[in-house]
Amino acid sequence: MVNGILDYLWLVPALPLLGVVLNGAIALYAERPLLLKEAGLPLAGGHGAGHGSHGDAHGAASHGSADGHHETPAYRKLVAFIAPAVVGAAFVVALLCVLSLASRPADGRTFVQILFPWIQAGSLLVPAALQLDPLSSVMALVVTGVGFLIHVYSVGYMSHERAFARYFVYLNLFMFAMLTLVLANNYLLMFVGWEGVGLCSYLLIGFWYEKQSASDAGKKAFVANRIGDFGVLLAMFLVFWTFGSLSYTEVFARVPLLRESGVLTTGLATAITLLLFLGATGKSAQIPLYVWLPDAMEGPTPVSALIHAATMVTAGVYMVARSSALFLLAPDTMMVVAVIGAVTAIFSATIGICQTDIKRVLAYSTVSQLGYMFLACGVGAFTAAIFHLMTHAFFKALLFLGSGSVIHALSGEQDMRKMGGLKKYVPVTFVTMFAATLAISGIPGLSGFFSKDEILWQSFSSSHGSPILWGIGALAAGITAFYMFRLVFLTFFGESRMDPEVERHAHESPWTMTVPLTILAVLSVAGGWIGIPAVLGGSNRFEHWLAPVFHPVAAAGAHGVAAAGAAHAAEAVAHHSTTLEFGLMALSVAIALCGIALAYFLYRVRTGKPAEIASRWPTLYDVVYNKYYIDEFYEWAVIRRIVTFSTGLWQMFDALFIDGIVNGIADLVRGAGDRVRRLQGGVVGGYAFSLLAGAVLLVGYILYRSVVQ
């Protein structure tokens, strides 16, 4: 074949799947018997404990104490090798594939690999097919690259964990599902990955299922995602109904034709895209379905980094960007996306100000940054959205892993009020996290600056944008800088507020954790350099790379009534004066610096001030601290209504109607039987007489019939 390495594209999702199988076998046959024995439960599967010496599992109990006193059993070493290795191999294959793709001419950079026919029902033909194009290659590289680093980190972070193999089974399964999602060539296969990552998210949030709050958080995430999935399903039905296909290449190729023939009305496009966006709000934690993401922090920290910051939650952004051809036809949807994104960005940023749990601050920050990405999508700047998706994956994964390193050092402490002065204990963590904080705050030169500024500029200048959107975005950027520096100051600077006992054990993490931190720090700093905009003397290679995905789309959109989109936006960019762009850039940087300065003032200079402010406006503080009581509002407005309604249904419909029918029939039959059984009197003569009577009647009837005829 002429495709070379691209023919091995299927290996990218298949390698993590291999990891699932191998680690799954180890988890079932080596780890599970050990854990059951430890818990004093009978061995279900006979003598399964082939690997591993006895007495090692209880060593895991002392989380946070000095490492390495007990011998690591062989099966754990095997898992610790297999799980990162398969993901690393997937990364290498993906990288080679992308390099091979990049060597092609720009308009030929779409490679589709059909693996096997999957569903054939009437006119519905869905093959299991993978697609590598500039968009999915960015996603695949980010997912496998960051995923590999987090797998390595997990080996260190979870070293005290008993269910070590089970954890890596889930993590590998997640990689498989996520790669299926991004590499799929059609909506249905993407949906398989979509549901797969949801399942893994559920499993990993509830990883410590003995803890009530963890299992509740898992359920909450799952239910919130189901609401979104319902939208995706309906959107898929509509797409199939309209286009007669679910594959990206066919659907998007048919857009201009159906647009001209009037089949694809703006209303239809709006319905499809709004339903898709409903799915995106669930998966990517946007208003109104964002509530599950902060609770998802109950899972292990590397999971928060991988699934709930870097990869899975960006699936919604990816899907919107992937369907950009449809979104550009629906200006109403674009506005909804932009507004939801902007509001989510600022809304969750304000919640982040008052949180005291280090991971929750980062969780709200993630929601906020995802809002940015949707803001970018909503103004038609899909390239900027994907660019921010990538840089965010670097610095937010780093922030989460750094916070995990802090938590690890402090024997599981997550409350920032009980930290402080940590930089001398965990220097590597401090330096890397500080780099990520600078990046997310939008300090010029770092990755976050380029992507965030691109979004802000587009939200101002694009034909879908407006100064209001820019203002909200810039303000959210300032708040982001504020709460991120608050986090850094509270954690690493100042006086120690740690437990003396905890402080004595505080230690830097092992190399498996610090090396991924360092690599991610380099990426957080330098990752944005591939997208330096022209106005700053860069060539914005990132935009050129993605152009084949988004620009033909804009050309197609220009035929329609809703002629707008990226081409238009790109023109607008070119036509706007560079002075304006520089001015806005300086302004947003200044706002970010103000946020940093404020954080410095409140948490380094006048450390008593925050409490004072809180006590001066107790109601305001209370409302923000309690996350605007949104959870309570949902509890009251939705959950309790549903419970009441369901209880009503159960009592009225189920207990009265359904049970009534079933029990009624039973009563009828029993009553009839009770009467009929009297016929069986036990007198043989009676039976003989009935026999006779029956025979007489029968003969009489036959005679009557013959006479009548």
Partner 1 sequence: MIAPSAYLLLSAILFGIGVAGVVTRKNVLIILMSVELMLNGVNVAFVAAGSYLGDVGGGVFAFMVMTVAAAEAAVGLALLIALYRLKETVDITELKVLKW
CB of 676 to partner 1, least distance (A): 10
CA distance 614 to 326: 47
| Burial bucket for residue 583 (CB in 10 Å: 0-12, 13-18, 19+) | exposed
SS3 113: strand
Residues 6 or more apart in contact with residue 96 via CB below 8 angstroms: 5
**Measured from the CB of residue 32, what is the shortest distance to partner 1 in angstroms?**
57
Q: Which is nearer to partner 1, 616 or 675 (CB)?
A: 675
Closer of 262 and 682 to partner 1 (Cβ):
682
Which residue lies nearer to partner 1 by CB, 636 or 689? 689
- Rounded CA gap, 479 and 465, in Å? 21
Q: Tell me the two tokens of residue 571.
A: 């023109």
Answer yes or no: are the C-beta atoms of 390 and 142 closer than 8 Å: yes
Residue 186, strand partner residues? 247
Q: Which is nearer to partner 1, 639 or 692 (CB)?
A: 692
Nearer to partner 1, 121 or 676 (CB): 676
Residue 342 · residue 469 · CB < 8 Å: yes
- What's the closest the beta carbon of residue 706 comes to partner 1, in angstroms? 17
CA distance 498 to 417: 8
The least distance separating partner 1 from the CB of residue 692, rounded to whole angstroms, comes to: 6
Q: How far is the CB of 674 from partner 1 (least distance, A)?
A: 10
Q: Which CB, 668 or 688, lies closer to partner 1?
A: 688
Convert 406-435 into a string of H (helix), E (strand) and C (coil). HHHHCCCCCEHHHCCCHHHCCHHHHHHHHH
CB of 683 to partner 1, least distance (A): 6
Min dist CB 672 to partner 1, Å, is 15
Give me the least distance between CB of 641 and partner 1, in Å please: 54
628 closest CA partner among 380, 275, 346: 346
Tokens of 168: 């890596």
Beta carbon nearer to partner 1, 575 or 677: 677
In 493-531, where does DSSP find H-type helix?
Answer: 500-505, 511-526
3-state secondary structure of 129: strand
Residues 489/599, Cβ–Cβ less than 8 Å: yes
Cβ proximity of 119 and 186 under 8 Å: no
Query: One-letter amino acid identity for 284?
Result: S
Nearer to partner 1, 608 or 685 (CB): 685
Residue 344 and residue 551: Cα distance in Å, rounded?
A: 28
The position carrying tokens 């504020």 is 482
The nearest distance, CB 696 to partner 1, in angstroms, is 10
Which residue's CB is nearer to partner 1, number 2 or number 683?
A: 683
Q: At what angle do helices 11-26 and 164-183 cross, to 10 degrees?
A: 160
Closest by CA to 284, choosing from 318, 259, 326, is: 318
Nearer to partner 1, 44 or 684 (CB): 684
Nearer to partner 1, 648 or 686 (CB): 686
Closest separation in Å from C-beta 663 to partner 1: 24
Structural contact between residues 172 and 84, judged by C-beta atoms closer than 8 angstroms:
no
Name, in order, each residue with C-beta under 8 angstroms of 349's C-beta and a sequence gap of 6 or more: 364, 365, 368, 476, 479, 480, 483
Which of 478, 400, 488 is closest to 442 using CA atoms? Answer: 478
Please state the closest distance from residue 673 (CB atom) to partner 1, in A: 11
Phi, psi at 126, each rounded to 5°: -125, 110
Q: How far is the CB of 666 from partner 1 (least distance, A)?
A: 20
Residue pair 215/202 in contact (Cβ under 8 Å)? The answer is no
Q: Which residues bind partner 1 (CB under 8 A)?
A: 677-678, 680-685, 688-689, 692
- Cα–Cα dist 552/545, whole Å: 13
Q: Cα separation of 441 and 355, whole Å?
A: 18
Residues 6 or more apart whose CB falls under 8 angstroms from that of 327 comprise 273, 320, 333, 334, 337, 377
Q: Is the CB of 511 or the CB of 689 nearer to partner 1? A: 689
Measured from the CB atom, is 105 or 682 closer to partner 1? Answer: 682
Shortest distance (Å) from residue 667 CB to partner 1: 19
Taking the mean position of all CA atoms in its chain, how far away is CA 89? 23
Q: Which residue type sits at 237?
A: F
State the Cα–Cα distance between residues 227 and 292, nearest whole angstrom: 12
CB 29, min distance to partner 1, A:
59
Q: How far is the CB of 675 from partner 1 (least distance, A)?
A: 11
Complex with partner 1: residue 689 or 701, whichever CB lies closer:
689
CB of 661 to partner 1, least distance (A): 29
Determine which helix (DSSP H) or strand (DSSP E) holds 112, and give its type and residue range.
strand 111-121
Residue 386 CA, chain-centre distance (Å), reads: 15
Taking the least distance from each CB to partner 1, the nearer of 45 and 681 is 681
Pick the closer one to partner 1 by CB: 616 or 678: 678
